[in-house]
Amino acid sequence: MKKWGYLAIGLLSVLLISFVGFLLIVFLGNYVIDEDKLVVHSSSEMVDLEGNFVSKLYNENHQIVSINDIPDYTKQAVVSIEDERFYKHHGIDTQSIFRAIVNDIKAFSKVQGASTLTQQLAKNVFLTNDKTFMRKTKEVIIAINLERKYTKDQILEMYLNQVYFGHGVYGIGGAAKYYFGKDVKNLSIEESASLAALLKAPSHYDPVTQPVRSLERRNLVLYKMLDTHYITESEYQKAKSKPTVLHITEQKFENGYATYIDMVIKEAKEKYGISYDQLLNGGYKVVVPIHKKTQLTAYKYFKNGNYFPGTDQNAEGAFVLINSETGGVEAAIGGRNYYFQGLNRINVKRQPGSTMKPLLVYSPALETGNYNPYSLLPNEQSALGDYKPKNYNGVYTKTISMFNALIQSANVPAVWLLNDIGIDNAKEYLEKMDLNIPDQGLSMALGGLKIGLTPLELVKAYSAFDHDGDALEPFVINAIYDRNNELVAEAKIKEYKVFSSQTSWYMTKMLKGVVNEGTASRGSFTGDLAGKTGSTNIPGQTNGNKDAWFVGYTPDVVGAIWMGYDKTDSDHFLRNGSTYPTILFKKILSEAGREPSTKFKKPKNIDDLESPINLEPISNVQSKVSFSPFGLFTVVINWNAPTDHRQQYRIYRVKNGKEKLIDTVTGLDEYKDSFVNVFNVPSYYVVPYNPQTKEEGDRSKLVKPNIRNKE
C-alpha cells in the first residue's frame, strides 16, 4: 500500500505543479513570445561580402506541398500514430501528459513521451537542441501560441513540410518522391503508413536498411488508423497484406552554387554547431566570400566536355579558388554534374603528381640555406637504393639548376634533392599546415602518395607561397546572422607559419617561370600567374594519365583544378596530361575578369630572383687580324650573337701549348685581343658561361687568325 500511497502523492504533486504551470503558460504566453517573429519555413539565404544576394539555402528533397494536395489518409496516418488527440487539444494534451506520467511512475523511468504535433513543430522550427527545463517551457509556450495563431490544417501542413524522414529528406513531399517515386497526392494507404512509421526514429525504422522493423511499425500505424476509425476493417486488412514496395528516387538537382551551398551547410554544422535543418529553415543570412562571376564561369566550363580529355564524356574534375589574403573560398566546383549532397571532389584525396615538388622538395631545400634557385643538381639517371626515377621526357644532362629543374618538371633532380635533405625534414613543413601523410618513400617527391591530398589541401599549401610564407585555412562562411539580424557566428582568419619570406618569394618567381616558359605555358593569361602542373601515370599502362593537375596563384587568388575519373581503369583514363587543367584554369580566371592588375610584390629586405639563363651553344666562330695605330696588331674574334644578353663568354688564349683565360664579356658577340705578336700568333676558343649557376657550357672550336689575311 505504501507504494500506491507514494504514487498518489506523486501524482497529485505533479498535477498541481502542471496545473499552475499551465495557467502561467496560458496567461503569460503572449508576453513571452512575440508572435510577429513566429515565421515558419523561413528560408536562409547566402549573400556575398557586399550584401548582394547569391542563393537560397535549400534541399532539393525539401518540397513544400499544400495541405490540400496531401491525401486524407496520409494526414490520418501521421495523426493516429504521433498525436491521436491532435484535433481535440490546444497545443498541449493534458490527457496524454497524465497518461505518460502514470506510465513513467509505474516503470520508475521515462518510458512514454507526450509531445503533441504542435509541440514537435515548435521544437523543430524554433528551438535549439539543448536539454533544459526552460527549453521545454518555451516549447509549450510556442505550441500554445501556434494553436492560437493558426488553424489545425495550417499547423499540420507546416509540420508535414518540415519533419525529417531520413536520407536527408525533409517534408512529406520529398519523402513521397524519394521512397516511392511519386507525388504526395498519389500515395496509397500503406505507403502513407510507411512514411508515418518513420517519424519516431527515421534510421531505426528505415525501410531501406531495416525492412522488418519498418513493416512492423507500418502495420502498427495501420492498426492505429483502424482504432481511431480513420479506415475500415477491410481497408486495414487489405493494406496490411501488401508488402512495402520501394522506388528509391535520388533527386540529383543541379545548381551553379550547389557545391558551395553544401560546403556552407557542412561548415555551419562542424564549425558553428548549426544543424542542417536549422540552417535551411531558420531564416539565417549567411555572408560568404564567394565571387559570383568566377563561380558561374567555372560552372559553365565544367559542363563543356571539350576541356576534359577523357576516353569518354564521363571524365570528372574539381575546381576551388580562395582569396590569397584571407583564405575565403571564392569559387568551388565539386564535379562536372555536381548535385546537392553529391560527391564533392574538392575533398577527395588524389595523388598530386609533380605539384608536390615545390612543397616537399624545393621549398624545404631552400629553407636549409644550403641551396638556392641556381644551385646545380644531378640530372643523370641513376638509382637511389631500390628507386630509379626517370625524367618524363627522357632527357638527361649532367647537372641542372633548381630553377630549370622546376620549369622542366624534371624528376631525377627532385628525387635526389629529397634524399639529400631527408624525408622527415621535408615532411615537417607539411605538418606545419596540418597536412599529415604517412608515406616515407622517395617517390613522394613526384607525388606518389598512398592516400594523397585533396584539391582544397593543395590550395591551402600553395597559399603559403602567395602569402609571405604563411598558409591560410580555407573557409566558406564569413558571418551568420539570425532572422533578427543578430550576429551568431563570425570567421577568424587562421594562418600557419610555414616558410620564410625569402623562400616563398623564390618559389613565386620560379613558379612564375613554370607558367611563362615551362610545363604550364599553354593557354592565354594576362598578368602575373605562378603555378605548377602535375600528372600521375596509370599502373601498368604507358599511355594516358590517371590524374591531371594545375595548382596556381595570382597576387589575389590561389586555386587548383583536378581532372580524372572517379575510378580509373583500362577503359577510363585521361588521354592527355596537365595541359588541359592549365588551359581551363587560365580560361576561367580570364573570362571572370580575374586577371590581376598588379604584379607579385617582393617583400622588403629579401633578395630578388632573375629568370634563369639558359646557355646557348657557340657556333660560327671566326678570327682575323687587324692593324690599328694604338693597338698595333689586334686579333678580332666573332661568334653568333646571344639571345639572352645576360649570358657571359670566357675567352681563352692558347699559346705554346698553354691555355689561359684572358677575359670575360657579357652579352657580346665579339672580342679584341690587342698587341699580338705577329711572329707568334696564338689560337683562341670561347666558352659560354652562366653567372647564375657558375657553370661553363661547351667550348667552341679552336681558331687561329691568318696573319696574311690581316685587314
Q: Looking at the structure, do residues 438 and 489 belong to the same domain, yes or no?
A: no
Alpha carbon distance 556, 466 (integer Å): 8
pLDDT in tens, 430-466: 999 999 999 999 999 999 999 999 999 999 999 999 9
C-alpha–C-alpha distance, residues 171 and 202, integer Å: 13
Which pLDDT score, from 0 to 100, does residue 137 have? 78
Question: Are residues 591 and 636 located together in one domain of the fold?
Answer: no
- The cell numbers describing 587, all together, are 580560361
Q: Give 64 or 635, the one with higher predicted confidence.
A: 635
**What is the average per-residue pLDDT within 151-175?**
90
Is 354 part of the annotated catalytic residue set? yes
Terminal Cα-to-Cα distance of the chain (whole angstroms): 138
Catalytic residue of the set 44, 55, 60, 82: 82
Residues 463 and 583 in one domain: yes
The span from the CA of 516 to the CA of 614, in Å, is 14
> What confidence tier does 156 reach under pLDDT thresholds 50, 70, 90?
very high
Annotated catalytic residue 45? no
Q: How confident is the model at residue 27 (pLDDT cuts 50, 70, 90)?
A: very low
Q: Is residue 30 situated within a structural domain?
A: no
421 and 492, same structural domain?
Answer: no
| Whether residue 163 is found in the same domain as residue 68 | yes
In the chain, what percentage of residues exceed pLDDT 90? 71
Q: Do 665 and 686 reside in the same domain of the chain?
A: yes
305 and 204 within one domain: no
Give me the residue label for grid cell 546537392. 340
Range of the domain at 665: 622-709
HSE (CB half, 13 Å, CA atoms) of 616? 17
pLDDT band for position 28 (cuts 50, 70, 90): very low
Q: What is the CATH number of the domain that holds 539?
A: 3.40.710.10
Residue 59 has pLDDT above 80, yes or no: no
Task: Decide if 314 is inside a domain.
Answer: yes
Whether residue 1 has pLDDT greater than 60: no
Q: What is the pTM of this model?
A: 0.75
User: Tell me, what's the pLDDT at 104?
Assistant: 46
Confidence of residue 40 (pLDDT cuts 50, 70, 90): very low
Residues 110 and 218 in one domain: yes
Report the share of the chain in percent with pLDDT over 70.
87
Pick the last residue of a domain from 419, 449, 479.
449
Residue 542 pLDDT > 70, yes or no? yes
Q: Is 608 within the bounds of a domain?
A: no
Average pLDDT on 192-208 reads 96
pLDDT, tens digit, 9 for 90 and up, residues 462-491: 999 999 999 999 999 999 999 889 999 999
CATH number at residue 76: 1.10.3810.10
Options 354, 375, 504, 578, the catalytic residue: 354
Per the model's pLDDT, the better-predicted residue between 513 and 614 turns out to be 513
Tell me what pLDDT residue 430 has.
Answer: 97
Is 610 within a domain?
no
Q: Between vectors from CA 496 to CA 442 and to CA 370, what angle results, nearest 5°?
A: 45
Specify if 606 maps to a domain: no
Is pLDDT of 697 > 60? Answer: yes
pLDDT band at 280 (very low <50, low <70, confident <90, very high): confident
Q: Does residue 36 carry a pLDDT above 70?
A: no
What band does 195 get if pLDDT is binned at 50, 70 and 90?
very high
530 falls within a domain: yes
Give the bridge partners for 487, in sequence order.
481
8 A C-beta contact, residue 158 and residue 109:
no
CATH of the domain at 649: 2.60.40.10
Q: In this structure, are 221 and 322 located in the same domain?
A: no
Q: For the ranges 619-623, 662-666, 682-686, which has the lowest average pLDDT? A: 619-623
Helices (H) and strands (E) in the chain, counts: 20, 21
Q: Strands 285-287 and 44-47: what pairing?
A: parallel
pLDDT for the residue numbered 453: 98
- Final residue belonging to a domain, choices 397, 430, 449: 449
Are the beta carbons of 379 and 392 closer than 8 angstroms?
no
Identify the pLDDT of residue 5.
52
Q: Per-residue confidence at 627, pLDDT binned at 50, 70, 90?
A: confident
Contact 171, 64 (CB under 8 A): yes
Residue 556 has pLDDT above 70, yes or no: yes
Taking alpha carbons only, the member of 338, 288, 250 closest to residue 55 is 288
Domain membership of residue 290 (yes or no) is: yes
Tell me the mean pLDDT in the region 306-318. 94
Q: How confident is the model at residue 358 (pLDDT cuts 50, 70, 90)?
A: very high
Number of domains in the chain: 4
* Same domain? 112 vs 166: yes
What's the pLDDT at 111? 39
Verify that 90 and 204 share a domain, yes or no.
Answer: yes
**Among 420, 449, 478, residue at a domain's last position:** 449
Question: Which range (97-111, 319-333, 349-363, 571-585) has the least confidence?
Answer: 97-111
Looking at the fold, whether 463 and 522 belong to one and the same domain comes out as yes
- Domain contains 66: yes
Mean pLDDT over 62-84 rounds to 93
